[in-house]
Structure 1
Amino acid sequence: MSFQQHAITLAGDSPGQTTALYWYSAGPENAPTKVHLQAALHADEQPGTMALHHLLPRLRDADAQGRLKARFVIFPSVNPLGLATRVLRRHIGRYDLETGVNFNRRWPDLYPLVAKAVEGRFTQDASANVALLRAAVGEWLAEQRPVTANQTLRLKVLASAHDADIVLDLHCDDLSLKHIFTSPELMPGLQDLADRMGVAATLTAEDSGGGSFDEVLPALYRKAQAANPGVPIPMAAETATLEYRGQADVSDALGIEDANGLFDFFAGRGLIDAAVAPAKPAPSPTPFEATEILRAPSAGLLAYQVELGESVRAGQVVAELIAMDGPEAFMARQPIRSGTDGIILSRASAKYVVGGASIAKIVGTTILPARAGGYLLED
């Protein structure tokens, strides 16, 4: 039996401060496929942790029965530093309070860091080329000397993920339907994951602009391909951010449903020896540039006119903003209209908003000129 809990102690940024990071491993150490699972990189997003809470016993039991055909590494709460960022009785687990940096932004662009180490060493053996890249990244990681606790944590997580074949980062939105972010080259290959999750949308982008964790490995292989034409370098890591509804959607019922979807996805891939029923097909992927991030024009109180999952047309009123100052304070209502045809994927739970705040994501199919080539994320 190889199912095992692991822990390391992260030295804190002030005297006497430490933090424990826990993770689990399961399955044969020499399995041909490695899976890296993590949840709560944004530490205030707990649906993924609940899903992994329910998945772990199933993996433990399958491991004991010899039914795991892959090596699984699971971080149920990958950001213990963010768990501690509470201010005035509020959990602010999305940002490093020291730097203000989002925990899921500014992950390293790996290929420029290892390009010199692999220069002239690629061959016509695709598997050997992947192994070369992974070894170079592993060596670069081992050479780093982190100063802060967050740097140490990031290096530990990357050390686990860099040589994985499947990397799934479990998140959630504010108020939202289930959806996936992934790289365009990985679709339709990950359509089975979308189907097993039962997502409302799969949004694809090569570079969303923020250096998100799920884009690190696709960028490594994509840039290696571009720098070495004529050399077989496959996109050797299937990575995705899985958005499990909204922050309040944490319950045993939902966690069991989500754990079952993950288990069936792995079983359907032959990574767990288990029979699974067919999944209901989810919508085909769309470019993230075709999703509108609808924002409030000024401060006010939101009155939504549409529900999650509702189809809207360009020009349709999505919400009305009640004025809270000026000559018509608490009387006037300003319409906020959709700029595209699509479905309402997310809304804001807090109805008092400031100017520029994201109030909805509208998933369309036509790339929006204002989104093409720009920063695609909400923060």
Structure 2
Amino acid sequence: MTFQQHTTVLAGDAPGQSTTLYWYTAGPEDAPTKVHLQAAMHADEQPGTMALHHLLPMLRDADAAGRLKARFVVFPSVNPLGLATRVLRRHIGRYDLETGVNFNRRWPDLYPQIAEAIAGKLTDDQRTNLGTIRTAVGTWLDQQRPATAAQRLRLAILKSAHNADIVLDLHCDDESLKHIFTSPDLMPGLQDLADRMQVAATLTAEDSGGGSFDEVLPNLYRKAQRANPGFPIPMGAETATLEYRGQADTHDAMGREDAQGLHDFFAGRGLIDATVPDATPAPGPTPFEATEVLRADRPGLLAYRVGLGDRVKKGDVVADIIAMDGPDAFLGRNPLRAGTDGIILSRASAKYAVVGSSVAKIVGTEILPARAGGYLLED
């Protein structure tokens, strides 16, 4: 039996401080496939942790029965630093309070760090080239000397994920249906994951503009391919951000359902020896640039006219913004209209909006000119 708990102690930024990161491994160390799973990088997003709480016993039991065909590395709550950031009875697990940086932004661009190291070493065999790239990345990571606790945490995560074949980062939205963010290069290959999750949408982008964790490895291999067109280089990792509904949806039954979906995805890939039922097809991918992030154009109280999953057309009223100042204070309502046709994927749980607040994501099919080539994320 290979199922094992591990701990990594991260030195803190003040004398006498440290933080413990808990993680698990299961499956043969020499398995041909490595899976890296993590949840709660945004530490105030807990549905993924609940899902991994239910998945871990499944992996433990499959491991004991000799049914694991991959090496699984699981971080059920990957950001213990963010778990500690509570201010005035509110959990602020999305940002590093020291720097203000979102924990899921500004991850490194790896290819420039290893381009020189792989020069002259690529061959006509793609598996060899994949190994060369992974070795170079591992060497670069070993050379890093992080100065802060946040940097030490990022380095520990990258050391685990950099040589994985499947990397799944479990998040959630504010108030939302299930969806996936991934790279267009990886679809339709990850459609089986979308089917097992039963997502409402799979949103794809090569570069969403924020340096998100799920884009680090696809960006590495994509840049390597483009810089070395004469050599076969695979997309060496299937990576995705899995959005498990909204923050309030951290429920035991939902976590069990989500864990079963992950288990069945791995079993369908032959990574767990188990018979699973066929999955119901989910919607195919759409470009993230076709999703409108509808924002408040004035401050006020949100009164939604639509629910999650509702289909709207351009010009339909998504919400009224109730005025809270001026001559119409608490009497006037100003409609906020959809800028595209599509489905309502997410809404705001906090109904007091300021100018620029995200009110809804509307998943359409047509690229929006204002979104093309821009910053696609909400923060």
Normalised-by-shorter TM-score class? over 0.9
Tell me the distance in 1 between the aligned counterparts of 2:353 and 2:83: 25
Give the secondary-structure state (helix, strand or coil) at the position aligned to 1:147: coil
Tell me the distance in 2 between the aligned counterparts of 1:236 and 1:124: 16
Tell me the distance in 1 between the aligned counterparts of 2:361 and 2:313: 13
Amino acid at match of 2:208: S
Cα offset for 1:120? Answer: 1.5
Counterpart in 1 of 2:13? Answer: 13
Cα offset for 1:251? Answer: 1.1
Give the secondary-structure state (helix, strand or coil) at the position aligned to 2:194: helix
Tell me the distance in 2 between the aligned counterparts of 1:8 and 1:298: 46
Give the secondary-structure state (helix, strand or coil) at the position aligned to 2:307: coil
Counterpart in 1 of 2:114? Answer: 114
Amino acid at match of 2:356: G
Aligned counterparts, 1:12-161, within 5 A: 12-161=12-161
Amino acid at match of 2:177: L
Give the secondary-structure state (helix, strand or coil) at the position aligned to 2:221: helix
Counterpart in 1 of 2:281? Answer: 281
Amino acid at match of 1:164: A
Query: What per-residue deviation string (whole Å, max 9, x for no partner) do you get for residues 204-239 of structure 1?
Result: 000000000000000000000000012100101000
1:355 paired with 2:349, answer no
Give the secondary-structure state (helix, strand or coil) at the position aligned to 1:135: helix
Give the secondary-structure state (helix, strand or coil) at the position aligned to 2:279: coil
Cα offset for 1:378? Answer: 0.2
Tell me the distance in 2 between the aligned counterparts of 1:116 and 1:43: 36
Cα offset for 1:325? Answer: 0.7
Counterpart in 1 of 2:342? Answer: 342
Tell me the distance in 2 between the aligned counterparts of 1:143 and 1:43: 28
Cα offset for 1:257? Answer: 0.2
Query: What per-residue deviation string (whole Å, max 9, x for no partner) do you get for residues 146-172 of structure 1?
Result: 000000000000000000000000000
Amino acid at match of 1:30: D
Query: What per-residue deviation string (whole Å, max 9, x for no partner) do you get for residues 168-205 of structure 1?
Result: 00000000000000000100000000000000000000
Cα offset for 1:336? Answer: 0.2
Aligned counterparts, 1:180-199, within 5 A: 180-199=180-199
Aligned counterparts, 1:167-316, within 5 A: 167-316=167-316
Tell me the distance in 2 between the aligned counterparts of 1:65 and 1:47: 28
Give the secondary-structure state (helix, strand or coil) at the position aligned to 1:272: coil
Tell me the distance in 2 between the aligned counterparts of 1:89 and 1:276: 43
Tell me the distance in 2 between the aligned counterparts of 1:119 and 1:333: 62
Amino acid at match of 2:210: G
Amino acid at match of 1:205: A
Query: What per-residue deviation string (whole Å, max 9, x for no partner) do you get for residues 290-324 of structure 1?
Result: 00000000110000000000000000000000011
After TM superposition, what 4+ stretches of structure 1 lie above 3 angstroms from structure 2?
none
Tell me the distance in 1 between the aligned counterparts of 2:40 and 2:120: 39
Query: What per-residue deviation string (whole Å, max 9, x for no partner) do you get for residues 26-46 of structure 1?
Result: 000000000000000000000
Amino acid at match of 2:20: A
Give the secondary-structure state (helix, strand or coil) at the position aligned to 2:360: strand
Amino acid at match of 2:50: M
Counterpart in 1 of 2:321? Answer: 321
Cα offset for 1:92? Answer: 0.2
Tell me the distance in 2 between the aligned counterparts of 1:298 and 1:42: 28
Tell me the distance in 1 between the aligned counterparts of 2:74 and 2:353: 36
Amino acid at match of 1:256: R
1:376 paired with 2:369, answer no
Query: What per-residue deviation string (whole Å, max 9, x for no partner) do you get for residues 265-294 of structure 1?
Result: 000000000000000000010000000000
Give the secondary-structure state (helix, strand or coil) at the position aligned to 1:302: strand
Tell me the distance in 1 between the aligned counterparts of 2:129 and 2:59: 31
Give the secondary-structure state (helix, strand or coil) at the position aligned to 2:346: strand
Q: Identity over aligned residues, as a percent?
A: 79
Task: Give the superposed CA RMSD.
Answer: 0.4
Tell me the distance in 2 between the aligned counterparts of 1:335 and 1:136: 54
